[in-house]
A and B are shown apart, each in its own frame.
Chain A
Amino acid sequence: MRGAFVRTLSELARADHRVVLLTGDLGFTVVEPFADEFPDRFFNVGVAEQNMVGLATGLAEAGFLPFCYSIATFAVLRPYEFIRNGPIAQQLPVRIVGVGGGFEYGSAGFTHYGLEDLGVLRMQPGITVVAPADAGQAAAALRATFDLPGPVYFRIGKDEKSVVAGLEARFRLGRAELVRSGRDVAVISVGAATVEAAAAVSELESAGVDAALSVVSTLNPAPVEDLLDLLEEVPAAVTVEGHYVTGGLGSLVAEVIAEHRVDCRLVRCGVRQLPHGTTGSTAFMQERHGLTAGAIASAAQEATRKALSPST
Chain B
Amino acid sequence: MSRSEGWAASGLAMSGSATTTDPASAPGAEHLRQLSPEAQVRLMAKQIRLSILEQSARAGVGHIGSGLSVADIVAALYARVLRVDGLADPERDRFVLSKGHAALALYAAFALRGWIGREQLDTYCGDDSLLGVHPERDLPGVDFSTGSLGHGLAMAAGAALAARLQGSHRRVYVLLSDAECNEGSLWESVMFAAHHRLGNLTAVIDLNGQQALGKTEAVLDLAPMAARWSEFGWDAVEANGHDPFELLSALQGGTGTRPRVVVARTTFGKGVSYMEGQLRWHYWPMSPEQYSQALEEVTEAP
Q: Determine which of B145, B161, B189, B191 lies in contact with A85 in the assembled complex, contact meaning CB atoms within 8 Å.
A: B145
With a CB–CB cut-off of 8 A, which chain B residues contact A63?
90, 162, 166
CB contacts under 8 Å to B, within A2-45, are 20, 40-41, 43, 45
A281 at the interface (CB under 8 A from B): no
Interface centre among A20, A46, A51, A85, by most chain B C-beta atoms within 10 angstroms, is A51
Q: Check if B162 sits within 8 Å of A86, measured CB to CB.
A: no
Closest to A56 in B: B158
Q: Check if B148 sits within 8 Å of A54, measured CB to CB.
A: no
Q: Check if A82 sits within 8 Å of B145, measured CB to CB.
A: no
- Provide the bound-state CA to CA distance between A61 and B147, in Å: 18
Main secondary structure of the interface of A (DSSP, over half): helix
Closest to A85 in B: B148
Question: Interface on B for A, CB 8 Å cutoff?
Answer: 90, 94, 136-137, 143-145, 147-148, 150-151, 153-163, 165-166, 172, 185, 188-189, 191-192, 195
With a CB–CB cut-off of 8 A, which chain A residues contact B90?
62-63
A58 at the interface (CB under 8 A from B): yes
- Provide the bound-state CA to CA distance between A1 and B132, in Å: 44
Q: How far is the CB of A8 from chain B (nearest CB, A)?
A: 22
Interface centre among A40, A55, A63, by most chain B C-beta atoms within 10 angstroms, is A55
Q: Using a Cβ–Cβ cut-off of 8 Å, how many residues does chain A contribute to the interface with B?
A: 28
A48 at the interface (CB under 8 A from B): yes
Q: Check if A62 sits within 8 Å of B185, measured CB to CB.
A: no
Q: Determine which of B145, B154, B161 lies in contact with A90 in the assembled complex, contact meaning CB atoms within 8 Å.
A: B145
With a CB–CB cut-off of 8 A, which chain A residues contact B148?
81, 85
Q: Check if B191 sits within 8 Å of A82, measured CB to CB.
A: no
- Provide the bound-state CA to CA distance between A55 and B163, in Å: 12
A-B contact count (CB 8 A): 95
Given known A-B contacts A53-B154, A55-B157, A61 and B185 have beta carbons under 8 A apart: no
Closest to B174 in A: A58
Q: How far is the CB of B28 from chain A (nearest CB, A)?
A: 35
Given known A-B contacts A54-B153, A82-B154, A48 and B188 have beta carbons under 8 A apart: yes
With a CB–CB cut-off of 8 A, which chain B residues contact A86?
151, 155
Q: Check if B144 sits within 8 Å of A61, measured CB to CB.
A: yes
Q: Check if A50 sits within 8 Å of B162, measured CB to CB.
A: no
With a CB–CB cut-off of 8 A, which chain B residues contact A55?
154-155, 157-158, 161, 189, 192
Closest to A79 in B: B185
Q: Check if A62 sits within 8 Å of B154, measured CB to CB.
A: no
> Can you spell out 17 A-B residue pairs with CB atoms less than 8 angstroms apart?
A40-B165, A46-B188, A48-B192, A51-B192, A54-B157, A54-B189, A58-B159, A58-B160, A58-B172, A59-B162, A62-B90, A63-B162, A64-B162, A66-B158, A85-B147, A86-B151, A89-B145
- Provide the bound-state CA to CA distance between A50 and B189, in Å: 9
Q: Check if A46 sits within 8 Å of B192, measured CB to CB.
A: yes
- Provide the bound-state CA to CA distance between A46 and B195, in Å: 11
Q: 4 additional contacts, CB 8 Å, given A54-B185, A55-B155?
A: A55-B154, A57-B155, A58-B144, A85-B151
Q: How far is the CB of A66 from chain B (nearest CB, A)?
A: 8
